[in-house]
Amino acid sequence: MILGIDLGTTNSVCAVFKDGKSQLIPNRFGEFMTPSIVSFEKDGKIHIGQSAKTRAALFPKETIKAFKRYMGTDKTYKIHGHLYTPVELSSLIIKHLLEDAENHLNEKITEAIISVPAYFNNIQRSATKQAAELAGLTVDKLINEPTAAAIAYGLQDKPEYTDFMIVDLGGGTFDVSIMEYFDGVLEVKASGGDNFLGGEDFTNVLIELYLTKARIRTTQLNPKAKQKLYYTIEQLKRDISSNRPLIIEPFLAVKADKVEITFEQYKQACEKLLQKISKPIERCLRDSGLEPVEIDEIILVGGASRMGFIKTMVTRMFKKIPRTDIDPDLTIAVGAAIQAGLKAKDKDLGDIVLTDVAPYTLGTGVVNDNDLYNSQGLLFDPIIERNTTVPKPM
C-alpha cells in the first residue's frame, strides 16, 4: 500500500487508494486533518498535530507551526537548547500520519507519494523527500499539488483538449496552474503562485483591523494573549460574509471596545492580498497562451479558497463559476492517493499520463566575448524556459 500525503502548511491529510477508490484516513481523533504543528515539553515529550495545536496557546515559545514555508532553507528553531530544522519537524508530522494510517489500515506502510507546491524548487523538493525518509518512508515520487487536485476532480475523464485552471489558496502557500488533457496526457501548461501567501495573511489582516477598532495595542498583549487573539480571529474569519457583519465582544484580558466589522471593510483591507492573488493568475494565463474564455473549468482548492471574495474574483475574471464540490481541504490528499493507486498499477485505474513543467527558467552563466573588459559580468543564458514541459522518464 502506498500512502498519499498532502503535507500542508497548516494541516496535513493522508489517503490511500483501496477497493478502486481514494479513501481518506482519519487520525487518532477521527479527523481527516492533522494540524502541521509540533510542540516540545521541557522533559523531552513531543506533541504533534492536535495536541500541539492545543498547547500552542499556553506554550507559544515551545510550539512551532508553518515550518513548511522554510523547507530547503537553513532556518532552525531553538527550543529547550535543541535546534530543529524544518526537515526534522516535517518528518515528525509524517511519522505521526504514518502511525495513524498503519493503525487505521492495520498494515505496515513503507512507501508514500507526497504533494508539494508547484513552486517548490529542487532544494525544497529534496528536503521533502528527506523528511519522509527520516520518518521511515521511501518516496520516489512527489506530486505537484495542483496536479493532485486535477486528478481528484477526474479531469482526465473530460473530453480531449479541455483546459483547466487550478487555484489553490492554502494556509501559507498559493498555487495556480493551467492544465490541458489530450491524448491520455494531463499536461501542466503553466504554473505560478507565491509560497509566502495564504489564509494566514488574511487572518493577520483581520487581526490588524480588529486591534485598530478595539483600540488595543500589540504591546499590551503577552504571548498567550496573542495566541488567543490569533485563534479567535481565525475562527471568526470563517463566519464573515456580505450579509452578516462580525460583532466581536471583548475577549482578551485587556480593556477593549466592542467591535463591528463589515464584509466590505474586511474586503477593502484585503485589497493588496487580492491583487497578490490576481497577478499570478494573469501571468499564468499569459504563459499558457490562452484567453480567459478558453479555460473550460476552474477548480478552487485549499481552505482559504472558501472565502467568498476569492470565488467572486475568479468568477469575474473568467466569467465562469469555479468548481468547489470536493472539500477544498481534502482535494489534494484524494489526488495524491489516486496517483499512489496509479503507481501501484491498480487495475481500477486507467492509464493517465501526467506531465509537469519546470517552474523556473533553467540556464547557465555565460560571458559575452565582445565585452572586452567584462563589464557585464556573468550573463544568464536560459536553456529551458519557465513552464516548459518536463519530458517523462522512460
| Amino acid identity at 187 | E
Please say which residue, 172 or 192, places its beta carbon nearer to ligand AMP: 172
Are 191 and 119 a contacting pair, CB within 8 Å? yes
Residue number with CB closer to ligand AMP (192 or 302): 302
168 is catalytic: yes
Tell me which stretch binds ligand AMP (CB under 6 A): 20-28, 223-231, 298-306, 385-393: 298-306
CA distance 285 to 189: 9
State the first-to-last Cα distance of the chain, in angstroms, to the nearest integer: 24
Distance of alpha carbon 111 from alpha carbon 109, whole angstroms: 6
**CA-to-CA distance for 332 and 335, rounded, in angstroms?**
5
Q: What is the nearest approach in angstroms of ligand AMP to the Cβ of residue 235?
A: 8
Q: Compare residues 79 and 197 and give the one whose CB is closer to ligand AMP.
A: 197
| Binders in 312-371 for ligand AMP, by CB under 6 A | 329
Catalytic site includes residue 6: yes
Choice from 49, 302, 322, 341 touching ligand AMP (CB under 6 A): 302
C-alpha of 176 from chain center:
11
Q: In the block, which residue shows the cell 484585503?
A: 270
**Cα Rg of the chain (Å, integer):** 22
Q: Interacting stretch for ligand AMP, rule CB under 6 A, among 4-12, 48-56, 111-119, 261-269?
A: 4-12
Annotation says 140 is catalytic: no
Backbone angles phi, psi at 157, to 5 degrees: -90, 0
Whether 41 is catalytic = no
Return the closest-CA partner of residue 288 out of 151, 194, 384, 191: 191
- Applying CB under 6 A, among 171, 193, 335, 341 the residue interacting with ligand AMP is 171
Q: Measured at CB, which residue is nearest to ligand AMP? A: 199
304 binds ligand AMP (CB under 6 A): yes
Q: Which residues are catalytic?
A: 6, 68, 145, 168
Residues that bind ligand AMP (CB under 6 A): 8-11, 170-171, 198-200, 203, 234, 237-238, 302-304, 306-307, 329
